[in-house]
Amino acid sequence: MSLQKKKKPTFNVMNLGFFKSVKARWRKPRGVDNKKRIRKKFAGAAPRVGYRNPPSLRYLHPLGKLEILVNNLSDLDGVTNKVVRVAAAVGNKKKLQIIEKAKQLKLDVLNPAVKQKVSKENKVKGSAQVTKVK
């Protein structure tokens, strides 16, 4: 089951397509004559409260459940009906243990991929093989 949140436009700064120096990011328009600040239609959309999702859908993962960040095995104690994301700082050994415990608790893990060591013959600078645990 996946839930459908509201669609919202990408909020970009004015003149994004015209100047090379203007990056695709949002900055609040503050100039006196800024057309985006006075909400001219051609200037594009700006963030407003009307784009918010209803409270029942806020903070939910697209799978329809709340997402929790897990750093160690004790973070999974008493967890039900949630989606698990293992923290990036967790090593392979602990990550495998967390994934096993999540399977026992029938929880979905969003990032089950585990890095494997590469032998010296096959090693390419700065690379590691990534495999998904099923």
Q: What is the DSSP letter of 5?
A: P
Q: How far is CA 2 from CA 65, 102, 125, in A?
A: 9, 20, 39
How do residues 19-58 score in pLDDT, each as one tens digit? 999 999 999 999 999 999 999 999 999 999 999 999 999 9
One domain for residues 107 and 70: yes
Tally of domains in the chain: 2
More confident residue, 3 or 51: 51
Of the pLDDT bands very low, low, confident and very high (cuts 50, 70, 90), residue 129 is confident
Residue 124 lies in a domain: no
Query: In this predicted structure, which of 57-61, 93-97, 111-115 has the lowest mean pLDDT?
Result: 111-115
Residue 5 lies in a domain: no
SS3 126: coil
Q: Is the pLDDT assigned to residue 130 strictly greater than 70?
A: yes
One domain for residues 105 and 60: yes
One domain for residues 40 and 72: no
- Strands 113-116 and 129-132 come out as antiparallel
Residue 22 lies in a domain: yes
Per the rule left: phi > 0, alpha: psi between -120 and 50, beta: everything else, 106 is left
pLDDT score at 131 = 75
* Enclosing domain of residue 63: 55-112
Residue 65 lies in a domain: yes
Per-residue 3-state assignment (H helix, E strand, C coil) for 23-44: CCCCCCCCCCCCCCCCCCHHHC
One domain for residues 101 and 73: yes
Share of the chain above pLDDT 90, in %: 77
pLDDT score at 116 = 77
One domain for residues 24 and 60: no
pTM of the model: 0.69
How do residues 82-102 score in pLDDT, each as one tens digit? 999 999 999 999 999 999 999
Q: Is the pLDDT assigned to residue 127 strictly greater than 70?
A: no
